[in-house]
Amino acid sequence: MEFNKEKWKEKLEERLLEKFSVSLKDASPFEVYKALGETVMSFIAKDWYETKQEYSKTKQAFYLSSEFLMGRALGNNLINLGIDKEIQEFLKELGIDYNQIEDEEEDAALGNGGLGRLAACFMDSLATLNLPGQGYSIRYRNGIFNQYLRDGYQVEKPETWLKYEDVWSVMRPEDEVVVNFGYTSVRALPYDMPIIGYGTKNVNTLRLWEAHSIVDLDLGVFNQQDYLHATQDKTLAEDISRVLYPNDSTDEGKKLRLRQQYFFVSASLQDIIKKFKKVHGREFSKIPEFISIQLNDTHPVIAIPELMRILVDVEGVLWEDAWEIVKKTFSYTNHTILAEALEKWWVGLYQEVVPRIFQITEGIHNQFKNELANLYPNDVNKQNRMQIIQGNMIHMAWLAIYGSHKVNGVAELHTEILKEHELRDWYELYPDKFLNKTNGITQRRWLLKSNPQLASYITELIGDAWIKDLSELKKLEQFIDDKKVLSKIWDIKIEKKKELVEYLRETQGIDINPNSIFDVQVKRLHEYKRQLLNIFQVYDLYQQLKQNPNMDFVPTTYIYGAKAAPGYKVAKGIIRLINDIAQIINGDDEIKDRLKVVFVENYRVTVAEKIFPAADISEQISTAGKEASGTGNMKFMLNGAITLGTLDGANVEIAKEAGEENEYIFGMRVKDIEELRKKGYDPRFPYNNVTGLKQVVDALIDGRLSDLGSGIYREIHSLLMERGDQYFVLEDFEDYRRKQREINRDYKDKISWAKKMLKNIANAGKFSSDRTILEYANEIWNIKETKIK
């Protein structure tokens, strides 16, 4: 976008005056933020409109996701418009600090973790690639909770991003629809957010639905007696979009959650079909030619029977014809093999919430049951395993696979495990449906925006084509022996570490040595991600430094950031444990600056932007086979952190791209785990035989550590020692510790370390969400670049 300083100044002043009755020189940072946001919105309005016009003529992909973890928009939008530097400069001339303005924006935190952030990266890539793709979700009033620490325990407080309204959302009352549940109906009111592509005029859309009572439509119809009842109804309706479920990789199985899912899915499909009809009339057989719908995990899978309902009940299409359309329209992404995350709904509840949808689901179930009986007449077990309704449970993943033309996993290893194990029956039946789409991240947010120093240095070396084509980074390999380049990327890392140190000093009052190794694990707290393995190693290291004060050791800072699902007791116990150990180590005068442990409060997108660029070590230590892909691992890599990881999820591909010698790979592989399970794993073996391990595990219960009486440390101890150590924490401890020592030795050789950094950066190209999205576009959605003029 052309930047015209005078025009911006004029607009900004106009906005401030109209909206807040204030002049530019007296405006507060909040007022400037709002006015600036609105000014951006006014400048993109025309392009946004034109993009919608163009897209309506062509095939579009719709990404249905219960989560979009967007983070802040202002900085990203300015960058994508190519006017970030100009705006910063222009504000500076007016005596305004841009950073202060940016800090006025709350994160749009409508997601839990990886799955939601992936959806957000996909939006950025779709717009940047001029692809006709739109997101649909819920406009949760409260996003993921804010996390505070009290006595080292997590406490949750509501997040309120809409408290002072949102400048990036535009209400579209003309597109409101009614969603019918069993006993009641609610209004779905859409709000659109622009998704501004980088270096293009295209502006895509993320449409979020807000729930309202139909009572609001016409309060007049209610007489005096009904008034209280009417207001109650209003609350019930509005509850639907009130709060994001804060569980990650687990199924809540709650009535409200099913209501949320049906609410946004039904509204979105009504919207999609309404727009289709405007252009194509009643030629429903053309739907697959113009519409592709991606189901992001099982959460929106109820879309399959809902599209059947719209076609059969509302539009009068024959069931058989409707089913053909449905199958060609949907595709489904699986994000986890954890059984607890594959949603199943109890028939009784489903029937109560969406009775008509239940009938249709039953119809689909019966149809498939007959197919199965014909396919496997001699294998009743298999027939039973694959049924959509089993006993009184509805299996949403099975419904998804049956009703989709493509099913994908999110990393090579994950897809292989799905095909060979979790979804083996299905893969045998539908081999052509299955494919892999390794996840990716947008380099615009995760390098250009969060690490401008590294970004501009890369541009200085190889030009700026990497911003739109990350495979360009490969050209950096020519500098692998260039001492000047190596020392510069080292210096940039130190600079980013200093910025993080400053942030943590301001927000948490902690002092960190920027010359220490920053070893970072940031992600949701989950047993399978093994934050426990990490903190055990730290505690062991602490004992060694105490016994051996002259040990040759580069100072190290262990940094953690993680939210735990509020009802996940063990995860919350692990947060306490990390903080407990942090307090002991950080308060030990004999240790001083050599070892430090920091738990970053309220880890979220905006904080992540400060953490990834500052990391030396990327901890990706899940039990092999459990992490579907991971995407944090890619953000670290792109910023020159070295992976310390298991061969799990996309770590496998990271090691392959950068060379295993440039990462620290440890621990059991998937096949080792299978073998050990068969043989019988006894955690008492490593416990008794690995030096120091017993000391660490027993600290949980011998009084050296304290859970303040909650009993959770004993529980964790028992999970490890009496209940089989499901995630092989003890088994992998020794190898993990060995790699930690190796890292500490290798870090001293600055040049060879910087080479590893450069190798990682140069080979991060594959992990752009642009690559991922192009694969979806070509191999699943069949959508084409549609650039506006």
Catalytic residue among 15, 523, 576, 594: 523
Residue whose CB is less far from ligand CJB, 248 or 707: 248
CB of 545 to ligand CJB, least distance (A): 34
The stretches of 470-568 forming alpha helices (DSSP H) are 483-508, 531-547
Catalytic residue among 15, 524, 576, 737: 524
DSSP string, 672-683: HHHHHHHH---T
Residue number of the CB atom closest to ligand CJB? 114
Residue whose CB is less far from ligand CJB, 261 or 383: 261
- CA–CA–CA angle 640, 755, 511 (5° rounding): 50
CA–CA gap between residue 246 and residue 567 (Å, rounded): 9
Catalytic residue among 496, 529, 572, 594: 529
Q: Does 439 bind ligand CJB (CB under 6 A)?
A: yes
CA–CA gap between residue 347 and residue 538 (Å, rounded): 47
Q: Which residue has the tokens 């495979």?
A: 471
Residues 6+ apart with CB under 8 A from 580: 152, 705, 706, 707
CA–CA gap between residue 74 and residue 103 (Å, rounded): 10
- Residue 528 and residue 727 in contact, taking contact as beta carbons nearer than 8 Å: yes
* Alpha carbon separation from 694 to 114, 415, 700 (Å, rounded): 34, 37, 10
Q: Pick from 15, 72, 257, 335: which binds ligand CJB (CB under 6 A)?
A: 335
CB of 570 to ligand CJB, least distance (A): 17
Give the residue from 624, 101, 112, 146 showing the smallest Cα distance to 411: 624
Residue whose CB is less far from ligand CJB, 246 or 649: 649
Active site residue 529: yes
- Residue 473 and residue 764 in contact, taking contact as beta carbons nearer than 8 Å: yes
Q: Does 249 bind ligand CJB (CB under 6 A)?
A: yes
Q: Pick from 336, 351, 442, 521: which binds ligand CJB (CB under 6 A)?
A: 336
Contacts to ligand CJB from residues 393-432, by CB under 6 A: 410
CB of 307 to ligand CJB, least distance (A): 23
Active site residue 212: no
CB of 502 to ligand CJB, least distance (A): 30
Active site residue 523: yes
Q: Which residue has the tokens 């100009």?
A: 86
Active site residue 19: no
Residue whose CB is less far from ligand CJB, 628 or 764: 628
Residue whose CB is less far from ligand CJB, 618 or 631: 631
- Residue 50 and residue 419 in contact, taking contact as beta carbons nearer than 8 Å: no
Contacts to ligand CJB from residues 97-126, by CB under 6 A: 112-115, 118
Active site residue 335: yes
Residue whose CB is less far from ligand CJB, 329 or 439: 439
Give the residue from 261, 408, 463, 449 showing the smallest Cα distance to 345: 261
Q: Pick from 87, 129, 311, 341: which binds ligand CJB (CB under 6 A)?
A: 341
Q: Does 649 bind ligand CJB (CB under 6 A)?
A: yes
Residue 724, SS3 per DSSP = coil
Encode 197-231: b = buried (16+ Cβ within 10 Å), e = exposed: bbebbbbbbbbbbbbbbbbeeeeeeeeeeeeeebe
CB of 653 to ligand CJB, least distance (A): 12
Residues 6+ apart with CB under 8 A from 91: 32, 97, 98, 101
Residue whose CB is less far from ligand CJB, 8 or 122: 122
Q: Pick from 248, 619, 707, 731: which binds ligand CJB (CB under 6 A)?
A: 248
Contacts to ligand CJB from residues 612-631, by CB under 6 A: 627-631
The stretches of 240-294 forming alpha helices (DSSP H) are 255-280, 287-290
Catalytic residue among 187, 309, 335, 604: 335
Residue whose CB is less far from ligand CJB, 70 or 538: 70
CA–CA gap between residue 462 and residue 758 (Å, rounded): 13
Active site residue 160: no
Stretch of 85-93, 136-144, 197-205, 333-341 contacting ligand CJB, by CB under 6 A: 333-341
CB of 510 to ligand CJB, least distance (A): 28
The dihedrals phi and psi of 424, each to the nearest 5 degrees, come to -55, -50
Catalytic residue among 631, 643, 646, 772: 631
Total residues in contact with ligand CJB, by rule CB under 6 A: 18
Supply the residues annotated as catalytic: 335, 523-524, 529, 631, 635
Residues found near ligand CJB in the complex (CB under 6 A): 112-115, 118, 248-249, 335-336, 341, 410, 439, 627-631, 649
